[in-house]
């Protein structure tokens, strides 16, 4: 008999437990440092010891070591950060995104590359007073990024570049939180903390459910996985999301940004950083950027399928190596496959277990009856409910408490249905990734501009939405 806890592990995986534990250790180390600093301020003895340590650090050998910890050129300020925004038919969202970033960095640092846009994308970007170029045809996001890096000369003129989607708005504290991570010379990239733009008005009930489901995925993935995976003591994360993340420009010449056959670029760029030994990935939940997610079922399916296909294609391209990153990816993929398979079979198993109990006459059906008897020998209805439904609802409760959003509890019953959909798309794209090759070209979904309270706002999904 399969116990409920084993069912929970099969569905939700050990990754959450492993990296969540590492994240807890990381948080404990951060809190410990804060407590030590607080105690230092309150204790005359500790202050005296710190003064002695200061005298020791003044010695030439120690001073040289401390200088080695500071990156060449000193701390990187926002005036030395280039912003690169790829855009394809983004007239409904690009003005708002540019406005958010221009408020934080010099206008001359912002660069837009229009990838074959046929709407007013270029016109609106030029009106914002930023640097604008266009590709000759729709070459795809990765191709547009590669061309823009070369034509703008970003590697030669800036130490750091922020890759920003046209539907993403930066929080005012984004750079204040993210840039200090580059003080460590080992950090090659910094991943942004994504939040869905789910408070905008004009969403249908289905749209609110889809956006709320995506925000739940973001919260669980970032707090329980990415926070632990990006601890510099054991650093290995499978993606630096392309919506709002920064790279040292010094590593860009070594990254193949636009290899043939891939549908998206961010998985591949992350794999390149780790597999080529270019550095580590930094991450802090305080580097927040707000992005739009699909609020229609068709757009949601296309985006989810695109992301799943991009992961499998990147895995196909990069051979595993004997390092922590490859071990992390292998564990992730094994659990992704097993949990997806279990979740796809979950509705059928649930039906076989409960149908004869609700309608005893169905127990005599030739196939259903024997299948029910065989299945009840291995899985109990209570174990299935506890291991899948109860655990999923508890995750929704956890996210609701952390984000202080009761709506997760209102939509909690429906998240399991969308998870079955996500797992189905993941399994569907697995063979597709090995049988087909993608061009990387994007197509923005048809969207209306959602209206915010008291003002018109920009709205459709951007490059990642297809």
1-5, 52-56, 103-107, 152-156, range with the lowest pLDDT:
52-56
* pLDDT mean over 140-145: 93
Domain ranges, residue 357: 1-20+77-466
d(CA 365, CA 343): 25
pLDDT tens-digit readout, 200-214: 667 889 999 999 999
Q: Is the residue at 138 inside a domain? A: yes
Which range of 15-19, 26-30, 236-240, 335-339 scores highest in mean pLDDT? It is 236-240
Phi (first) and psi of residue 193, to 5 degrees? -100, 115
pLDDT grade, residue 59 (50/70/90)?
very low
Cβ atoms of residues 416 and 392 within 8 Å: yes
Closest CA to 80 of 267, 259, 320, 248: 248
3-state secondary structure of 83: strand
Q: In Å, how far are 191, 192, 286 from 179, measured between CA atoms? A: 11, 11, 11
pTM above 0.75, yes or no: yes
Position 13 pLDDT exceeds 90: no
Question: Given a cut of 70, is residue 233 above it in pLDDT?
Answer: yes
Within a domain: 26: no
Q: Is 290 exposed, middle or buried (0-12, 13-18, 19+ CB in 10 A)?
A: buried
CA 234: distance to chain centroid? 19
Q: Do the domain assignments include residue 293? A: yes
- Considering the chain, what is the average pLDDT of its residues? 85
pLDDT at 47: 52
Residue 49 reports pLDDT greater than 60: no
71 found inside a domain? no
User: Residue 304: is its pLDDT beyond 60?
Assistant: yes
Per-residue model confidence as pLDDT tens digits over 405-464? 998 998 988 999 999 999 999 999 999 999 888 877 766 654 446 454 443 333 333 333
Residues 6+ apart with CB under 8 A from 146: 257, 258
* Locus of tokens 């116990």: 3
Write down the number of H helices and E strands in the chain: 18, 10
The answer to whether position 55 is within a domain reads no
Q: 66 falls in which pLDDT band (50, 70, 90)?
A: very low
pLDDT per residue as tens digits for the range 269-284: 999 999 999 999 999 9
Spatial neighbors of 314 by CB under 8 A, at least 6 apart, are 262, 267, 268, 271
In a domain, 67, yes or no: no
Q: How many domains does the chain have?
A: 1
DSSP symbols for 252-307:
GGGS--S-TB-S-SHHHHHHHHHHTT--EEEEEEEEEEEE----SHHHHHHHHHHH
**Looking at the domain assignment, is residue 51 inside a domain?**
no
User: What are the phi and psi torsion angles at 294 (to 5°)?
Assistant: -60, 140
Q: How many CA within 13 A on the CB side of residue 32?
A: 6
Domain for residue 256, yes or no? Answer: yes
- Dihedral of CA 240/242/243/249: which sign? positive
Q: Give the pLDDT band (50/70/90) at residue 43.
A: low
Confidence (pLDDT) at 452: 46
Q: How many CB atoms lie within 10 A of CB 34?
A: 10
* pLDDT tens readout for residues 77-135: 999 999 999 999 999 999 999 999 999 999 999 999 999 999 999 999 999 999 999 99
Q: Is the dihedral of CA 423, 425, 426, 428 positive or negative?
A: positive
Cβ contact 114:122 at 8 Å: yes
Per DSSP (E only), the strands in 9-140 are 81-87, 110-114, 131-134
Return the minimum-mean-pLDDT range out of 101-105, 310-314, 331-335, 377-381.
Answer: 377-381
* Residue 302 to residue 294: CA distance in whole angstroms: 9
Domain with residue 194: its CATH number is 3.90.550.10
């Amino acid at each position: 008999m399969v116990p409920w806890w084993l069912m929970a592990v099969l569905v939700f995986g050990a990754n959450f437990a492993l990296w969540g534990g590492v994240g807890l250790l990381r948080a404990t180390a951060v809190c410990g440092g804060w407590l030590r600093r607080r105690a230092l301020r309150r204790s005359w003895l500790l202050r005296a010891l710190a003064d002695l340590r200061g005298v020791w650090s003044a010695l030439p050998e120690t001073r040289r070591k401390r200088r080695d910890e500071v990156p060449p050129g000193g701390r990187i300020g926002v005036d030395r950060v280039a912003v690169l925004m790829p855009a394809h038919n983004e007239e409904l969202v690009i003005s708002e995104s540019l406005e958010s970033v221009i408020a934080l960095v010099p206008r001359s640092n912002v660069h837009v590359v229009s990838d074959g846009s046929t709407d007013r994308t270029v016109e609106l970007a030029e009106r914002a007073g930023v640097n604008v170029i266009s590709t000759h045809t729709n070459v795809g996001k990765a191709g547009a990024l590669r061309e823009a890096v070369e034509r703008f000369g970003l590697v030669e003129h800036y130490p750091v570049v922020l890759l920003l989607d046209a539907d993403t708005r930066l929080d005012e504290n984004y750079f204040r939180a993210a840039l200090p991570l580059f003080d460590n010379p080992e950090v090659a990239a910094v991943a942004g903390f994504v939040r869905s733009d789910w408070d905008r008005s004009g969403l249908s009930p289905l749209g609110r459910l889809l956006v709320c489901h995506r925000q739940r995925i973001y919260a669980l993935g970032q707090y329980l996985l990415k926070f632990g995976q990006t601890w510099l003591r054991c650093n290995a994360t499978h993606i630096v999301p392309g919506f709002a993340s920064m790279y040292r420009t010094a590593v860009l010449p070594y990254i193949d940004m636009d290899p043939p056959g891939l549908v998206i670029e961010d998985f591949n760029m992350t794999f390149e950083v780790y597999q080529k030994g270019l550095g580590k990935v930094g991450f802090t939940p305080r580097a927040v950027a707000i992005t739009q997610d699909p609020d229609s079922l068709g757009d949601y399916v296309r985006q989810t399928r695109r992301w799943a296909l991009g992961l499998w294609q990147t895995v196909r391209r990069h051979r595993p190596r004997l390092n922590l990153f490859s071990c992390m990816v292998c564990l992730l993929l094994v659990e992704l496959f097993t949990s997806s398979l279990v979740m796809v079979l979950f509705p059928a198993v649930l039906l076989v277990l409960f149908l004869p109990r609700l309608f005893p006459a169905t127990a005599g059906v030739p196939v259903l009856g024997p299948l029910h008897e065989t299945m009840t020998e291995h899985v109990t209805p209570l174990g299935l409910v506890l291991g899948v439904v109860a655990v999923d609802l508890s995750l929704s409760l956890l996210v609701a408490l952390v984000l202080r959003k009761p709506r997760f509890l209102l939509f909690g019953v429906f998240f399991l249905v969308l998870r079955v959909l996500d797992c189905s798309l993941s399994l569907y794209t697995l063979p597709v990734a090995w049988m087909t090759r993608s061009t990387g070209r994007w197509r923005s979904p048809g969207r209306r501009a959602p209206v915010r309270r008291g003002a018109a706002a920009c709205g459709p999904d951007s490059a990642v939405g297809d």
